[in-house]
Structure 1
Amino acid sequence: MNRPASRTAATRPARLRHLPLCALLGISLNASADGSIGIDPYAPGQGFDRPGEAAWGGWNRCDGGTLFAEWDIFDDASHGAADDRTAAPGGAAEQVAACGVTSAWLGWSTDAANPAFAYNNGNYLYNLSNGGQGGTTSLRINAAGPLRPGLTRVVLQFETRSYPIMPDSLRLNGLKPTLVANTLERDTTINGRPARLFHQLAIWNLGAAPPTLLFDFATEAHTVLQMVALDAGPLNSGSTDDPGQAPVPASWLINLPGEALPPALIQSLHAQRPGWFPAEWRPSQLTYRQSVNKAGTRLGRRLKGSIKALFHDPAEGPATNRVFLDIYRKDPIADIRIAECELKTTQKRRWTRVNIDNRLVRLGTARYALDLELTEIPATSASRFKRRIGQCDIDLDAEGIQAGVPALREGDYTRLRRAEP
């Protein structure tokens, strides 16, 4: 098998040994992408965007509180040891390969029989061994920098040949992307040889700015990784409330979906035991209220509501009675999950025997409730629960449960899910 065509030596830049001082200090300089394979990925309609011009953006590269790093050159000697398969940001014809970062590197590895190689002085990564047998390549990006606190959007853009990045492999700090999309797929010719080109976009909408961004992703056999661009910045369409200011007093309703059950199961349960199981599992509404005292020194939030849903007998199998309400904030690119609330089972009615798929099982119902009321004192960051039925995690990027009442806005909506066994 022929190796992929390389970029020409005439367009090859000097290797980047260290992050430039302007990158560490966040100094803004214009940058242009490498078009030596015949395509400028940032040209109109070619699939790549800078955040200042992208629908997903709203900031400029090298603005304070943002992060940018780009790999168009994968130079093994530019980071760590000369042969440890890691590379600092570097790009052909780029004046700045990174800014706003205190550290950044991209690494690659496969098993011993199928290693990935940085070919042609790092112009691309190709996971094909010398024996001609390709293998899956695991890649990681590690980047850190002082991102602005609050809702954050993190974006990766990829240029590959032969195959795209494996979408199911993408993770940021263990989280799946909010959105993955192909922005360009076409046949082209590179150095006189036919090639299939892919541009991809992956977006994470985060409830808080993480101190370190750890990305994991993979390519299948014979994939050529040509370019990766990383951008992170504030999500202006959903910026967090200023904790020093009281929220506007408000009260409104937010949806609380009913449990999604197959229609045939609903009909069967109701036909067998109409007093136990309804003919329709109706949705309900959560009431959200927020208030502030006249002095502006105490803020109050309350979130209250309940629905009826199935209550399983744990002895009957792996089904779980943990029911969660995910709260989303609308966004033009990909809606943000801003909180995860677990409802508490109340008014349990257990159990009755019903026939499901020709098997008698014990099944019941329960009222799943959420009633949280919290008082906050912004000047001291103190808070106190006055009511606590169920719980909400309001910082999904932090380990554990960061309990509280989410600061909702009109237009926020919810999705109900039952925890996996």
Structure 2
Amino acid sequence: MLSLYRIIVSLLLVCLSGQVVADTSNGPNPYGPGYGFDTPNEASWGGWARGDTNTLYAEWDVISDVSYGESDDRIAAPDVGTYNVDDAYLSWNLGVFLTSTGNLISADVVQEFFIHISPMSLFSGPLIVALQIEMWGDEPVAPLLNGLAASSWTQTFAGTSVTDHDLNQYLGLWYFADTVNFFGFDLTNQPFISLAQVAIDIAQVPEPHTLVIVLTGLILIGAMTQRRDSLNS
């Protein structure tokens, strides 16, 4: 309960400051050494670079309501970068508010987030989809993609930010055998859990390579989970 109190008080103080700062400035950079985000060229689930042929990328860090559509429609465009994206936005429900750091949080309603991505061209299978998210607070409900649960859902980092928030990072992986022309992610947070950053990477890969990535990724994720559990015990 004390940690929840710290999160709300700290975020409200940041809101009152009126300063807009990227989450990476509040700490830490999720791609930094020891933290949970990876670019696909360095990830166990990857094997490609952002911007390669037959890949897609979208990322939100400083979420802004004025970046897509109207200024009060609770919809935000990716601010860090995109590739091979025709349309992409992150939306949220009534009762969720934006902090001045570009995070989303609510003190009294269940938070519903929806991420819509339409690629420039159709993706034929097999596909790998990676969702990386950073939360300030407890673990969120496991996300869905096009109504499907992730093949794996793993916590990749647990610690605190420089502003003393509980900081958790997660990785969800999905594998599709067939053509997909729309990607719709559903995320649900209980009150007091702040959504801080989202990165999505998608790639079309040859069948043998898919099997290697799946097996290698699951083995490494399992080892990482076992190591984290042993450190916490």
TM over 0.5, yes or no? yes
* Residue aligning to 2:176: 206
TM-score by length of 2: 0.80
* Residue aligning to 2:145: 172
Separation (CA, whole Å) in 2 of partners of 1:226 and 1:162: 10
Describe the SS at the equivalent of 1:233: strand
Separation (CA, whole Å) in 2 of partners of 1:68 and 1:156: 10
Greater relative contact order (CA < 8 Å, ≥ 6 in sequence):
2
Contact 1:11/1:36 (8 A) holds in 2: no
Alignment length (residue pairs): 207
Separation (CA, whole Å) in 1 of partners of 2:218 and 2:27: 32
Separation (CA, whole Å) in 2 of partners of 1:232 and 1:156: 9
* Residue aligning to 1:48: 37
* Residue aligning to 2:208: 238
TM-score by length of 1: 0.46
State which of 96, 114, 124 in structure 2 corresponds to 1:149. Answer: 124
Contact 1:66/1:147 (8 A) holds in 2: no
Describe the SS at the equivalent of 2:66: helix
- The within-5 A match list for 1:2-401 is 2-4=9-11, 6=14, 12=21, 35-91=24-80, 97-110=81-94, 115-120=95-100, 123-128=102-107, 134-145=108-119, 146=121, 148-167=123-142, 170-190=143-163, 194-236=164-206, 238=208, 331-334=215-218
CA RMSD of aligned residues (A): 2.4
**Change over 3 Å in CA distance of 1:9–1:50 after alignment to 2:** farther
Describe the SS at the equivalent of 2:129: strand
Separation (CA, whole Å) in 1 of partners of 2:122 and 2:31: 24
Separation (CA, whole Å) in 2 of partners of 1:3 and 1:330: 39
**Alpha-carbon deviations, 1:140-171, whole Å to 9, x = none?**
0000112542210111101110122212xx11
**Change over 3 Å in CA distance of 1:82–1:330 after alignment to 2:** closer
Question: Residue type of the partner of 1:138?
Answer: E
Q: Which runs of 5+ in 2 are unaligned?
A: 1-7, 220-233
Identity over aligned pairs, percent: 30
Contact 1:147/1:233 (8 A) holds in 2: no
Contact 2:20/2:102 (8 A) holds in 1: no
Separation (CA, whole Å) in 1 of partners of 2:140 and 2:122: 26
Describe the SS at the equivalent of 2:154: strand
Separation (CA, whole Å) in 2 of partners of 1:137 and 1:2: 19
**Change over 3 Å in CA distance of 1:10–1:63 after alignment to 2:** farther
**Alpha-carbon deviations, 1:283-316, whole Å to 9, x = none?**
xxxxxxxxxxxxxxxxxxxxxxxxxxxxxxxxxx
Separation (CA, whole Å) in 1 of partners of 2:30 and 2:9: 25
Contact 1:72/1:226 (8 A) holds in 2: yes
Separation (CA, whole Å) in 2 of partners of 1:215 and 1:182: 18
Structure with bigger helix share is 2
Describe the SS at the equivalent of 2:138: coil
**Alpha-carbon deviations, 1:45-97, whole Å to 9, x = none?**
20100001100011111112111110101111111121111100013xxxxx1
Contact 2:125/2:204 (8 A) holds in 1: yes
Contact 1:148/1:209 (8 A) holds in 2: yes
Separation (CA, whole Å) in 2 of partners of 1:230 and 1:330: 17
